Amino acid sequence: MSVLSVASLSKSFGALRAVNDVSFSVREGEFLALIGPNGAGKSTCFNMINGQLRPNAGEIRFAGRNIAGLPPRAIFRLGVGRTFQIAATFGSMTAIENVQTALISHAGETYRFWRPAAARHRERALALLNQVGMRDAALRSSRELAYGDSKRLEFAIALANEPRLLLMDEPTAGMAPRERNELIALVKRLVVERKISVLFTEHSMDVVFAFADRIIVMARGRLIADGDAKSIRENPRVQEVYFGTGKAFEPKPQSAR
């Protein structure tokens, strides 16, 4: 049973066909990686699903409803959480206020003008921070957080609407290898517990091969492969356009590991 299904999705910028007739689906509880060379159309595809771009053609069905062309905030309301390539948090707020703002919005309380926001959904916000290991940093200003911690905070924000689907754009970009693995392990654990499906883009092949249930590959706007880690690794077309010979990411034989 698929949570998200994308059918014949297309988007052009002028003469450039950034995404060309792409179809795939994300199954319930699945951790699906979308990979491909830069400029292959991954971000465009992603931004159509999250509502930042309007497709020229095609359907994006989430929970049985076509969400193509809806604004991001409407897609959030339907139960889609999201993290950004460069962690986006509200810099002038504390960590807990960040999460509270999301919870307030989820509860439809944004247009309340009188009672202080600080008292709203406090326990729930603390619980979410606790789950991502950030409870102790609840009262710290979010712009003072280390980069890895910002990513965790962003993940807590993304969970605030109890999403059925999480969209994560390069969740580990700019992180050192150990931090990468810790963050993805945390994400994996929480989404499995909550039966959330995840669609993510990623350049770190270690992360993709270790955690993705399934991998889809885009190149020049089209979907060129779909399968598990092994079949993608051995796919000659993917090797040609994306992996190369693999010497730049496989450990060298003389490496100390």
Q: Which is nearer to another protein, 7 or 108 (CB)?
A: 108
Smallest distance from another protein to CB 1, Å = 26
Task: Write down the least CB distance from residue 204 to another protein, Å.
Answer: 9
C-alpha distances in Å from residue 13, one per residue of 16, 19, 72: 5, 9, 20
Based on CB atoms, which residue is closest to another protein, 65 or 115? Answer: 115
Minimum CB separation from another protein for residue 4, in Å?
A: 16
Bridge partner list, 10 = 57
**Rounded least distance, CB 211 to another protein, Å:** 17
As given in the structure block, the two tokens for residue 49 are: 């699903």
**Residue carrying the six token digits 């000659």:** 236
Q: 111 or 193: whose CB is closer to another protein?
A: 111
Using left for φ > 0, alpha for ψ between -120 and 50, and beta otherwise, residue 94 falls in: beta
Between 1 and 114, CB nearer to another protein: 114
Where do the DSSP E strands lie in the chain?
A: 2-13, 16-27, 31-35, 57-62, 65-66, 80-83, 165-169, 197-201, 214-219, 222-227
